[in-house]
Structure 1
Amino acid sequence: MSTTTPQGGGYDSPVKTAFAFSGAIFAGTILTTVGIFQILTGIAAVAEDTVYVKGIDYVYQFDLTAWGWIHIVLGAIAVAVGIGLLLGQTWARIAGIVIAVIGSISAFAFMPYYPFWALAMLALYIFVIWSLAQLMSSRAEY
């Protein structure tokens, strides 16, 4: 007689653990990189208002200096959470999704000032959300 053990989801535990670990590394790296980019974007907006061109009037209109400080704060938090993900901190998983959602909203609202850059940031934040959601659904410890 042979005994079999059911395997959840078709993957064995080492594969799930490796997938979750690589997802955490990906999310941590991208979140740290996007955070640094946001800090640099914020510094450019605070230091020199003429870097960005104001186009048409927009519903989510703020002063460029205010946008600069928003980007600096969000970027600093994103870098801290990204480093937490790279260090394997459990709190950083949910915090990463939260900061990526907030960053996505800010990238969308910043679109009239620098549209292509805002779209690039939005895409990177979506990759972070996807990666962390996969990590959370795998329920594997890394």
Structure 2
Amino acid sequence: MSDRRPYEGSAKQAWTWGIVGFGAVMLLSIGVVQLIQGFSAIAEDKVFVVGAEYAFAFDLTTWGWIQVVLGVLALAVGAGLLGSRNWARIGAVIIASIGIVAQFAFMPYYPLWSIVLIAFNVAVIWAVSTQSDHGE
């Protein structure tokens, strides 16, 4: 009896690797953008303008540190996905879910970019959760 999975080397495995790879690259991209966003907020850059008052108002520096921490975690989990680590798939869903909430709360500072990052995080969740196995 062979140790190979029935679809190993098949088109299904190639699609699975491709979609999980897409999720990994998206998560790495999100991490880089969150780092840039976070460092800009920490430096109190004039890029962010506060519009309407929201119930979840934090100091811009606080949001900057939240974005930096999420960015570092997204980069680590994205690298884990590229390295085919099992923990990274669960971590990607958790980090992307937290990222959606964080971007929703960051919306008063930069609404359009927050919406784009929410969509990217949804794409990551879809990519890593629709695949039952990626060939380990």
**TM-score, structure 1 as length reference:** 0.86
The CA RMSD over aligned residues, in Å, is: 1.3
State which drifts further: 12-21 or 119-128.
Answer: 12-21
Q: How many residues align?
A: 129
Distance 1:95 1:19 in 2: 21
- Determine the structure 2 residue equivalent to 1:78: 74
- Determine the structure 2 residue equivalent to 1:4: none
**Retained in 1: the 8 A contact 2:44–2:60?**
no
After TM superposition, give the deviation of residue 49 of structure 1 in Å.
Answer: 4.5
Contiguous gaps of at least 5 residues in structure 2: 1-5
Q: 1:112-138, CA deviations, whole angstroms, 9 ceiling, x for partnerless residues?
A: 110000000000000000001112xx2
Distance 2:44 2:133 in 1: 45
**Retained in 2: the 8 A contact 1:101–1:125?**
yes
1:90 aligns with 2:106: no
Aligned partner of residue 88 in structure 1, secondary structure:
coil
Decide whether aligned partners of structure 1 residues 86 and 140 sit closer, same or farther in structure 2, where only a CA change above 3 A counts: closer
Distance 2:60 2:44 in 1: 9
Given residue 48 of structure 1, which amino acid in structure 2 is its aligned partner? E
**Retained in 2: the 8 A contact 1:20–1:134?**
no
**Retained in 1: the 8 A contact 2:39–2:68?**
yes
Given residue 14 of structure 2, which amino acid in structure 1 is its aligned partner? A
**TM-score, structure 2 as length reference:** 0.90
Contiguous gaps of at least 5 residues in structure 1: 1-11
Q: Which residue of 89, 100, 103 corresponds with 1:104? A: 100
**Retained in 2: the 8 A contact 1:97–1:129?**
yes
**Retained in 2: the 8 A contact 1:16–1:140?**
no
Q: Which residue of 19, 28, 32 corresponds with 1:32? A: 28
Aligned partner of residue 50 in structure 1, secondary structure:
coil
Given residue 42 of structure 1, which amino acid in structure 2 is its aligned partner? G
Q: 1:64-112, CA deviations, whole angstroms, 9 ceiling, x for partnerless residues?
A: 0000000000000000000110111111000000000000110111111
**Structure 2 matches for 1:1-142, cutoff 5 A?**
13=7, 14-135=10-131, 138-142=132-136
Distance 2:134 2:59 in 1: 44
Aligned partner of residue 46 in structure 2, secondary structure:
helix
> Identity of paired residues, percent?
43
State which drifts further: 12-21 or 111-120.
Answer: 12-21
